[in-house]
Structure formats: C-alpha cells, structure tokens
Structure 1
Amino acid sequence: MRIDIRHRCDHFDSYRAARVQSLFNVETGANVDIAADLPVEGDDWSIGLVVGPSGSGKTSIGREIFGAGAFYEAAGWPADAPIVDAIAPHGAFDEVTAALAAVGLGSVPAWLRPYHVLSNGERFRADLARIVCERPARVVVDEFTSVVDRQIARIGALAFAKAWRRTSGQAVLLSCHRDIVDWLSPDWVYDTASGQFTGRYLRRRPDIALDIHECGWEFWPQFEPHHYLKLPKMIAATCYVGCVEGAPVAHVAFSTRPGMVEARACRLVIMPEWQGAGVGLRFLNAICARWRRGHNRFGKPMPTLFHTSHPGLAAALRRHRDWAQVSCNLYGANKAKSAASIRRTKHAGTGYGGHFRAVQGFRYVESGQ
C-alpha cells in the first residue's frame, strides 16, 4: 500500500505568525507531506503497530489504511449502567466477563461500576474489552496506551494481543511509545520517525520473573481491596506472595482440609496492573505443585482443592491440563436447614442458602507428571 498524504491549511499572516516565521526562518507551517510504503493489503495479519512521536502522521496513516470509520471512539458508555451491562448488551454474559478478564480487567468490583467512574487504567482496559467483544473486522485504536502508566501499558498490550488474536479481525494500533512493542508482538511495525517498516515482528516477549515467598497475613491488606469476597482470614493458613522485581503482585493462602488428606487454596488475588499477563495461574500452579510434592510445613504430599466464582478463572482452570473440575454448585445450601440451625441458636434470621451462587470447584491433578 502506497500512502501519500498532503495536508494543506490556510497561511496566516498575523503579526505573531509573521514574527515566528522571521525569528526561526520558517517559510510556512501550513503544509504537511507524508509518504510511506506499507505492504499490508493482505488478510494474513492480525495486529499492526504504527509508532512514532506526536505530530508525525500516525493518525493520518491509520485513516489511510482502514478509513476514518474504522477508528474506535470511547463514546456511548451509559452513565447509569455498569460496564458489565454496557459491553455487548445483547451478547452472552460469559463472553463479556471473559473479555474483561482476558484484557486484564479481572477485578470484579470494577465490573459493577459505570465507565465514567473508572480510573484511566480501568477505562483503557474496558475499551479493549468492548473491542474484543464487538469483534470488528477492522479497527484502528489511536493513542494506544498513551493515557496509562507504563506498567499497565505493557501488560495491557500483552493482554489485548492475546485476546485479539482469538478473533479474526485486523487491528491497527497507533502509539507514541516504543516500550510496548516487545509485549505486543505485532505482525508488523511502521516507525514514522525513521520511515522503517518491519514485517513479522518475531522477537520474544520479555520474561516475567516471579519470585514466590512463604509469609503470614502481613501482605494481605494490599490485596484485600481487590478480592471480590469480604471474608475473615482462613484459620491456620500458610500464605504466599509472588513478587516481580521486589513488588508484590500475587497472593494466595493455603490450609488443610479435615484429615489432612488435601489442601485448600483461597484468597487468590492478582494486582490489577498485572492481570491478563498469565501471572495468576503460574503463581497458583507453582504452589500447588509444592504441596503435591510435600514441600509444606507438614512435610506431607497433598493435592489442592480450589473454589472460585470468577467465570474467567474457572474457564482457564477448565482448559488447563493440570486441573480437573470436581463440582459446580449453582445454588447455596439448603435454606430451610439453615433457618432451623439459626433458630436452635436462638438468633433471629431467616437462614442462608437458596440463592444463585455459581461456585465451581477444581482439584490440582498435575496430569503432566
């Protein structure tokens, strides 16, 4: 594709404009010419990246590739509905929650907030989730990662690339930042500063070195706000924290079930800026493997049981060869029995249970061993 762009605008002859021309020996600032050769006509690519400084013609190039109508606009978000309702309102619930989790917005409380109250990082990922759910054949995303900090930008680029490649669409991303290139692994890159086109970007993504430490509950206050349940701490639990470059990014607690024949993992939380990078499952699997080999304070090999209501995490565990689903309780416990128990304790109440609670249980089986 040959791109020739020539922007023209009025030549201004005001005092200030004339003085700027005189001071800096500039004849005119009215004309902009951009020429580029981009061999992107085929449908054998999924993600393209146009990167370069502001004002170098990225938006104009994106418009030439797919047209102005392909640009994603962060508009139309309702102010009176949570994002879980606003994204693909006529689509399937599981598809929406899967998209949110896939792009790294796995914090369930954020799903229940309207778009306008989200942080910049959450809005960025909500926009990506909407794009993934809508699955446009062609889309251009301008200012990709420009409004978020660089940690969220890199992990967000990685998460979006993984989710978008599951669709059949083509996305052109326009960005000022080159630090996302290795994480995004685009099919092609065009640098507006150098005019260089690179096809089939094959460099390996940077490794994420995760250090796991056994601990108490001292790190839990940092993670608790991001957990979707508010429950007391597990009794007699051993906690683990995962760190990247010294910063805590993951937390889980382990305790034993009656008879000490099986462990139970709970309170798994991944910091929002690291969601979507695959850190959570890596972290959980590594500790489950330790317990299965007897590397715990009891010195006894034990498999691990894990329950979750998070649809994205449940789907990931079902796909993983080292996990087997063992239960799927769609409703809470018997409400009548609960009410009778409460009456025997002489406390007022109608009983718990009978409510919809899609808790799914999994056992770590380590089939690869």
Structure 2
Amino acid sequence: MPRVDALVQTPVFDSFRVRQVAGLFDVQLSERSTQRFEVDLPDVESDWTIGAIVGPSGSGKSTIAKQAFGNDGCLASKSIFDSVDWPHDKAVIDGFEETLPGKQVTAMLNSVGFSSPPAWIRPWHVLSNGEKFRCDLAYALLKDQSLIAFDEFTSVVDRQVARFGSAAVAKTLRAGRARCKKFVAITCHYDILDWLEPDWYLDMADQTLHWGSLRRPAIQLQVRSCRQDQWRLFKRHHYLSSNLNKAARCYLATWDGKPIAFCSTLHLYGQKDIRMIHRLVVLPDFQGLGVGTAMLDCIAKLEAQTMRVSIVTSHPALIRSLSRNERWRCTKVVKCGQAHNGILARTGKKIGSIGRMTASFRYRKAMH
C-alpha cells in the first residue's frame, strides 16, 4: 500500500504583527512555516471504485489528494473554485465537451439527479447551488480520465441535498455509467460517508485509512393524499407544463417531514375503468435515487384496487426506468409524437406530443 508523504512549506514574512503574535502565543519563528502529512492510501491500480478523504479544515485533505493524484486528477466544484469553465452565454448542456453526444450529457445529468430539462437550457450561473453542484458532478463524471478527485465535495449545499447527491454519484459509478473509472470525494463533512458508500476513506483527523463497510440508510417515504394547493411547490419543476387539471386527484410524498415529490391522477376521457398518471414531479434536490418511480408504484398500486392505471411520458429517464420495472408493461411507443384527437381535440388541446417521442405503460395489477 503506497505511503504518501506531503511537505508544505511557506515563507514567514517578518513584521511587527507577526512578532506580536509570536510573543503572545509562544510561536517559534523561523524562515519557513512547515507542515508534514504522512498517510497510507490505496494503490490507484487496485480494485476499488469510490474513495473519500475526510477531515476538518486545515487537516491536509487537498494537499494529500494533489500529492497522490496530481493536479490533473483533482477537480473542485466551481461553486468554490473556478475549476470548470462554465460559459455565461450558453445553456448548461452546451458547457460540456463538444465531442460528447447530447444524449450522453442528458443521461449523466439524469444520473446525478438533475432531471429538469427546463433548467438544462439555462446558463450555469443562474442555477441554484444544488443544481450547480449536480452539474459540476456530471462534468466530472464525464471526463475521460482514470481517476477524478473532487475537492470541496458537497460543501455548498445543505445536508439533505448532500446526502442524496452522494448516493446518486455512488449509484452512477457502481452502474458503470461514468467515463471516469475511479472517484475520490474530498470533504470536511462526515455525514455523506454512509450515503456515498466508499470502498475506502481516509480520515485526516487521525490520518487513518478505513476500508468501507458503510451502507446507505433506507429512504422511508410517507405518501398521502393532499389538496391541489400543494402543487405550487412543484409546478415550476415539471418538464412540460405547470398546469394542473381541476379534476386531478393529488398525492404528496414526504421524507423526514419535508415534501419531496408530487403525483396526481386523472380519469381517462371515454374510459370508465382507467386512471392516467397526470403529473409526477420530484424536487431537483431529491432526484437520482428512484424516488419518483417508488412513488409512482405506490400510487398505481393504490389506484389499481378499483381501476386500471396507465401513464404516457416523454421524459427519457422515466421511460428507461419504467422499461426496467417489472410492475409496468410498455403498451405503445410513438417516436414522433402525435396530435390530440377525439374528445381531447374537441377540448381545444390539439398540439399533443408532436415532435416528441412518447411511451405508454400499463401497471401490472397481477403483480400484487
């Protein structure tokens, strides 16, 4: 196991205040201030995927990372440092490497829990800190490098967002969807370790290397029916429309008492025994861990006690998720979309899904 020895030396500039501090606090003055860090780290060629370097500020985390992985391997969130050069005059999806296909970029944004197409077309600097953090993560995971060490990991987001973001990163890396092969999180926050589930972590507080046996806590959702006014928390995050039908039956999912997801259903025009999923939204800070699919399954199971349940969606991430979900059966795929007809056309809604691929799914009631 390699041992990393990092020596940090800085000159001491003589002044009246420097001598005053030295006299008051018994600091020994010399020409240089010296700090030495000696730690064991896993070999970068060994069999691991996720690592972490944690410890209080000033404990040498960044110094050790640069010594072990080099400047080229280290990246910091631009929320703290200007490591990623996000353009101010372009959409965030245009800030990634030009050689990357658009579908690969949007798939990675979905993977790290940033599943909001309306936000993808905005410049990086107008996004929230949580959204910026997810963009920085997607950028890092799409770099064609053997290893990425991400400094100031989760430093600019609240702790709930940090935990969900860490779990989304772990899920993406374990599934092999990232271009980088190994990822090291560098942070002063110990609370993300259980959620990141690293193969190893180095605690700079005592300079001890730990091999991981950490497991992510279960996410317990509470789902209940709710009034339509709860939609106001979610409407701006829906990828197509902020409108909610007045006849919609609404449900709210909470985690630790905080609303994080919304779902509504509607009776299908002309079909007495079918209810359609009308709106499904997970707040951006809690995307990437399957919360939306879990809520969808819960609502479909409830509604399926008396009705058949269907959903039509054009969201790529939801289509992929439902295609892998044995509780749902794909009944129709329309690659270019279609205009409304019949009863819907007579209501004045004639645009439909023209220009968008859509997929229809039916809930398998027999599974339960």
8 Å CA contact 2:193, 2:214 repeated in 1: no
Alignment of 1:202-217 (within 5 A): 202-217=213-228
Residue 153 in structure 1 maps to residue 154 in structure 2: no
Cα distance in structure 2, aligned partners of 1:334 and 1:285: 28
- Per the TM alignment, residue 19 of structure 1 is displaced from its structure 2 partner at its CA by 1.0
Residue 12 in structure 1 maps to residue 21 in structure 2: no
Q: Which one-letter code corresponds to 2:123 in the other structure?
A: P
Cα distance in structure 2, aligned partners of 1:227 and 1:88: 27
1:305 is paired with a residue whose SS is strand
Distance 1:135 1:212, change over 3 A: farther
- Per the TM alignment, residue 94 of structure 1 is displaced from its structure 2 partner at its CA by 2.3
Alignment of 1:109-120 (within 5 A): 109-120=118-129
8 Å CA contact 1:82, 1:115 repeated in 2: yes
TM-score for both structures, normalised by structure 1? 0.89
8 Å CA contact 2:52, 2:201 repeated in 1: yes
2:191 is paired with a residue whose SS is coil
1:316 is paired with a residue whose SS is helix
Distance 1:91 1:251, change over 3 A: same
The structure 2 residue matched to 1:327, chosen from 313, 332, 338, is 332
Stretches of structure 2 that go unaligned for 5 or more consecutive residues are 77-82
Cα distance in structure 1, aligned partners of 2:353 and 2:232: 32
Cα distance in structure 2, aligned partners of 1:187 and 1:140: 14
Partner of 2:258: 247
Aligned residues: 353
Partner of 1:75: 84
Residue 86 in structure 1 maps to residue 95 in structure 2: yes
The structure 2 residue matched to 1:51, chosen from 42, 51, 54, is 54
- Per the TM alignment, residue 239 of structure 1 is displaced from its structure 2 partner at its CA by 0.9
8 Å CA contact 1:304, 1:363 repeated in 2: yes
Cα distance in structure 2, aligned partners of 1:228 and 1:367: 31
8 Å CA contact 2:248, 2:265 repeated in 1: yes
Partner of 1:101: 110
Partner of 2:152: 143
Distance 1:186 1:334, change over 3 A: closer
Partner of 1:223: 234
1:42 is paired with a residue whose SS is coil
Distance 1:13 1:178, change over 3 A: same
Cα distance in structure 1, aligned partners of 2:41 and 2:331: 52
- Per the TM alignment, residue 197 of structure 1 is displaced from its structure 2 partner at its CA by 1.0
Higher mean C-alpha displacement, 323-332 vs 236-245: 323-332
1:84 is paired with a residue whose SS is helix
Partner of 2:80: none
Higher mean C-alpha displacement, 184-193 vs 282-291: 282-291
Residue 40 in structure 1 maps to residue 52 in structure 2: no
8 Å CA contact 2:264, 2:277 repeated in 1: yes
Cα distance in structure 2, aligned partners of 1:353 and 1:89: 32
Residue 316 in structure 1 maps to residue 321 in structure 2: yes
The structure 2 residue matched to 1:125, chosen from 113, 126, 134, is 134
8 Å CA contact 2:74, 2:149 repeated in 1: yes
Partner of 1:364: 363
Higher mean C-alpha displacement, 206-215 vs 25-34: 25-34
8 Å CA contact 1:51, 1:176 repeated in 2: yes
Deviations 1:101-152 (A, max 9, x none): 1111112211011112212111110011122233421111110011111111
The structure 1 residue matched to 2:197, chosen from 168, 185, 202, is 185
Cα distance in structure 1, aligned partners of 2:141 and 2:365: 32
8 Å CA contact 1:71, 1:142 repeated in 2: yes
Stretches of structure 1 that go unaligned for 5 or more consecutive residues are 295-299
8 Å CA contact 1:321, 1:367 repeated in 2: no
1:72 is paired with a residue whose SS is strand
Deviations 1:36-86 (A, max 9, x none): 122334331011100001111111111122111111253222222211222
Q: Which one-letter code corresponds to 2:9 in the other structure?
A: R
Q: Which one-letter code corresponds to 1:164 in the other structure?
A: L
